[in-house]
Amino acid sequence: MSDRAGFSISASRPGEVRGASRKGGRLEDGRKGRRQLPWKRVLQILCSLFLLAGLVASAPWLMNWLNQPIARVEVHSAFEHLSREDVEKELQPLLQVRFFSLDLKQMQAVLLEMPWVKEASVRRHWPDSVQLSLEEQQPVARWGRTHLISNEGEVFAPKDIADFSGMPVLAGSEESAAEVMQQYLAISQLLRPMGLRLKTLKRSESGSWRFTVGHVEVNIGRDRRMERLQRFVRLYHAKLEPRWQQVERVDLRYLNGASVAWGQSSQAGSDS
């Protein structure tokens, strides 16, 4: 009996052993749960914040450096009739702003309102200049008393046309300007080989045409204008050239002929 009692006392209980094992497991799990801070990531975030703060603080200075006042205006033009001073004078009120505040469309509109400007382009050139490219009107005749007309039939009104007094004078309604210019070019081409120069050309409200060559007035009416012009050329070579200084008027509004008014004798003849 004593042997059994000693045996039971010296034996270990399983429950006590398992409890000690669980305690050790809890200590090991606690050590694993402790993690170090991601210092590298924190430093990156702090650097980014400092950089952003620096950019925000320096933004007004940077913008002021980029957006400078306009110091130069470069004008590219043939300057046949325009002057650089006039161009700069027209644009001066629009140049009192900084680089990025320039209204390029308004500047272009102001330039196109100048009588001698046909085409205009405007662009910025950093840091402080504006570049202008201008194409001037090319007048080929006067339009009435106060205007000029270009080779494309565009009518414009410079302040002074005294320097163009030797040009032919064209006339008609404003809507017919392009047609009048085309007729002027066609007649001029026919007269040039004859040594004659067109002096005036007029289209009436009814659509009738008449022109003067030197002192002679020629009426070609409304219809079959090219046919009548060719008839005038034949009549000139056949009969009028030797007595050209005596001719006052030629009327070509006939089916197959022409009426000629002579200056001194006031005689009329016809070509049939």
Give the CA angle between residues 266, 271, 272 to the nearest 5°: 145
- In the prediction, which pLDDT does 41 show? 72
For residue 135, which of 73, 75, 72, 74 has the smallest C-alpha distance? Answer: 75
pTM, two decimals, is: 0.72
Residue 11: pLDDT band (50, 70, 90) is very low
Cross-strand partners of 213: 198, 216
Q: Note whether 102 and 168 are same-domain residues.
A: no
- In the prediction, which pLDDT does 5 show? 38
Q: Note whether 237 and 124 are same-domain residues.
A: no
- In the prediction, which pLDDT does 215 show? 94
Residue 38: pLDDT band (50, 70, 90) is confident
Do the beta carbons of residue 37 and residue 93 sit within 8 Å? no
- In the prediction, which pLDDT does 244 show? 95
Residues 65-73 have a mean pLDDT of 85
- What does the DSSP 8-state code read for residue 70? P
Count of structural domains, the chain: 2
- In the prediction, which pLDDT does 67 show? 81
By residue range, what is the domain housing residue 174?
A: 139-270
Q: Note whether 239 and 157 are same-domain residues.
A: yes
Residues 82-91 have a mean pLDDT of 93
Residue 33: pLDDT band (50, 70, 90) is low
Of residues 139 and 61, more confidently modeled: 139
Reply yes or no: is the peptide bond before residue 60 cis, omega within 30 of 0. no
Mean model confidence pLDDT for the chain:
83
Enumerate long-range contacts of 125-129, CB under 8 Å, 24 or more apart.
125/74, 126/99, 127/66, 127/68, 127/99, 128/68, 128/69, 128/70, 128/71, 128/72, 128/99, 129/70, 129/71, 129/72, 129/73, 129/74
Residue 56 lies in a domain: no
Q: Note whether 85 and 167 are same-domain residues.
A: no
Cross-strand partners of 73: 130
Last residue of a domain, one of 84, 104, 136: 136
Q: Note whether 215 and 196 are same-domain residues.
A: yes
Give me the CATH number covering residue 95. Answer: 3.10.20.310
Percent of the chain, pLDDT > 70? 75
